[in-house]
Amino acid sequence: MNRCKFLIVAAFSLVLLTCTICSQAQQEQPGPGAKPATVMPDVIAVPPAAQPSSHFDVEAATNAYLDAIPPTARSKSDAYFEGGYWLILWDFLYAAIMYFLLLHFRWSAMMRNLAERITRFKPLQTAIYIVEFLVITTVLGAPLAIYEGYIRERQYGLATQTFGPWMREQFQMLVVNIVISAIVAMVLFAIVRRLPRTWWIGGAAVSMCFLVILVMIGPVFLVPIFNKVTVLNDPRITQPILSMARANGIPAEKVYQIDASRQTTRMSANVSGFGSTMRITLNDNLLRRGSPEEIQSVMGHEMGHYVLHHIPKDVLYFSVVIVIFFACLRWLLERALARWGERWQIRDVGDTAVLPLVLLLGSVFGFVYTPFFNTHVRTSEYEADLYGLNASRQPDGFAQAAIHLGEYRKMNPGPIEEWIFFDHPSGRNRINAAMRWKAENLQLFTPKTGQ
Ligand SMILES: [Zn+2]
């Protein structure tokens, strides 16, 4: 959506990403007069085929859970999710064309000239250019951003905001974007100007540092701009969670709650931050709609991310990606500027007017990288799923969470579809993993007799 790019996108997604075992949902709000528009069931009873028995069958239990989803709800979430496949393409093309136009009509060069007329101080010129660039690209990108972020979310009953508050938030995001991007750009361009040959190594190193800083400050400084985060103090919910945390060697004393219902109906929880800012947060939709078993299974999953060090590992992984990107960038920029630099009035790599070209190449890189990114994240998510099942011992709670998630994510995709587009295991695979776990632990669910 918002078009501030390269590492910022990666970093931001890391901050928020980290996991997000979302489950969306609802319509069946507890409030009086609420209309059930999404017909996904709120409470999913354990189907007969998933009840513990001597003839427990993993496939039959999985299918029984899948059958609990009304066909209308399934076709709706399939349509929403499959529409997202096309949006990946439209987002890419839209951004690429926008960056190309900025180069082709020399708007980028004009923005640089304006910045140079305002001040002679180079870093300030870079900052002014970033302001111009982000304002213009946000305006140009608004039609698609509004459709994707507002209209479509409303159509599928996932958004809770009206247009005014949504727009206000977009504006706040733009301001945050400008501040962070200006700082990053000032540092990166200073490096490029100082190290004309080896800038890509320095640039990659500094980008990694920014990545770590952003992941670290995200939960403490960025998230609270948009949402209220509070310490959850309902012992009925926190007690089993903290007990599970202690059992798994997690030094958590607090569980956080976020008022995600301000923006969305999706249920979610996440682990975010780095080092001392690492924390586990539950969103209020999950707290309101999820059964205790479901909440515990989700928290087990989040603790999996924590114990398996997914955030530090992701930072390391994306650092490698950043280095590869910078190496490609150097090679491509030199060739592109030799060929079209004069026509676009870009002087060299250290000229801020080069930014649309950098982002154009970044968009291509990101587009091609999509399935690999998704597969990396999905693999971690699957690890966290298995960890969560072992930690929480709530396979039915986890199946419920997977179904709630299925309100905005296709439940039963083909294997190639899952490989390309899914950043979490599909609902079917998650329920299947839960039932497989249950089949091997049936004694936990069978009432004890004769004692
Ligand atoms: Zn996760």
Residue type, 363: S
DSSP 260: G
Q: What is the pLDDT of residue 449?
A: 55
Between the CA of 344 and the centroid of ligand 1 the distance, in Å, is: 44
Whole-model pTM? 0.84
Q: What is the pLDDT of residue 109?
A: 97
Nearest CA-CA partner of 420 in 1, 86, 25: 86
Find the mean pLDDT for residues 410-427: 95
Q: What is the pLDDT of residue 45?
A: 86
Whether residue 451 has pLDDT greater than 80: no
* Residue 273 φ then ψ, to 5°: 90, -175
Find the mean pLDDT for residues 142-158: 93
Q: What is the pLDDT of residue 40?
A: 64
Between the CA of 208 and the centroid of ligand 1 the distance, in Å, is: 23
Mean pLDDT score across all residues of the chain: 88
Between the CA of 425 and the centroid of ligand 1 the distance, in Å, is: 10
Between the CA of 6 and the centroid of ligand 1 the distance, in Å, is: 23
| Residue range 154-201, pLDDT digits in tens | 998 889 999 999 999 999 999 999 999 999 999 999 999 999 889 999
Lowest pLDDT segment from 22-31, 310-319, 350-359: 22-31
Whether residue 71 has pLDDT greater than 50: yes
Q: Give the angle 305-278-176 at the CA atoms, nearest 5°.
A: 110
Between the CA of 74 and the centroid of ligand 1 the distance, in Å, is: 22
Nearest CA-CA partner of 125 in 177, 189, 175: 189
Between the CA of 36 and the centroid of ligand 1 the distance, in Å, is: 28
Strand (E) or helix (H) holding 287: helix 284-289
Confidence of residue 277 (pLDDT cuts 50, 70, 90): confident
Between the CA of 441 and the centroid of ligand 1 the distance, in Å, is: 23
Residues 262 and 283: beta-carbon distance below 8 Å: no
Find the mean pLDDT for residues 250-263: 88
| Residue range 19-69, pLDDT digits in tens | 333 333 333 333 333 334 444 666 678 999 999 999 999 999 999 999 999
CA distances to 47, 230, 240, 248, 380 from 255, in Å: 31, 9, 11, 15, 22
10 Å CB burial of residue 146 (0-12, 13-18, 19+) is middle
Find the mean pLDDT for residues 337-341: 96
Between the CA of 75 and the centroid of ligand 1 the distance, in Å, is: 25
Using DSSP, state whether 341 is helix, strand or coil.
helix
Q: Which residues lie at CB < 5 A from ion ligand 1?
A: 19, 21, 381, 384
Between the CA of 418 and the centroid of ligand 1 the distance, in Å, is: 16
Residues 5 and 212: beta-carbon distance below 8 Å: no
Between the CA of 444 and the centroid of ligand 1 the distance, in Å, is: 25
The 3 state secondary structure assigned to 28-68 is: CCCCCCCCCCCCCCCCCCCCHHHCCCCCCCHHHHHHHHHHC
Between the CA of 79 and the centroid of ligand 1 the distance, in Å, is: 23
Q: What is the pLDDT of residue 448?
A: 60
Between the CA of 20 and the centroid of ligand 1 the distance, in Å, is: 5
Confidence of residue 254 (pLDDT cuts 50, 70, 90): confident
Whether residue 231 has pLDDT greater than 50: yes
Between the CA of 302 and the centroid of ligand 1 the distance, in Å, is: 6
Between the CA of 408 and the centroid of ligand 1 the distance, in Å, is: 16
Between the CA of 397 and the centroid of ligand 1 the distance, in Å, is: 15
Between the CA of 382 and the centroid of ligand 1 the distance, in Å, is: 8
- Which CATH code of 3.50.50.60, 2.60.40.4070, 3.40.50.1220, 3.30.2010.10 fits the domain covering 230-307? 3.30.2010.10
Whether residue 6 has pLDDT greater than 80: no
Between the CA of 270 and the centroid of ligand 1 the distance, in Å, is: 7
Confidence of residue 220 (pLDDT cuts 50, 70, 90): confident
Annotated domain spans of the chain:
52-229+308-440, 230-307
Between the CA of 205 and the centroid of ligand 1 the distance, in Å, is: 28
Between the CA of 158 and the centroid of ligand 1 the distance, in Å, is: 20
Whether residue 240 has pLDDT greater than 50: yes
Between the CA of 134 and the centroid of ligand 1 the distance, in Å, is: 31
- As a whole-number percent, the residues of the chain with pLDDT over 90 amount to 71
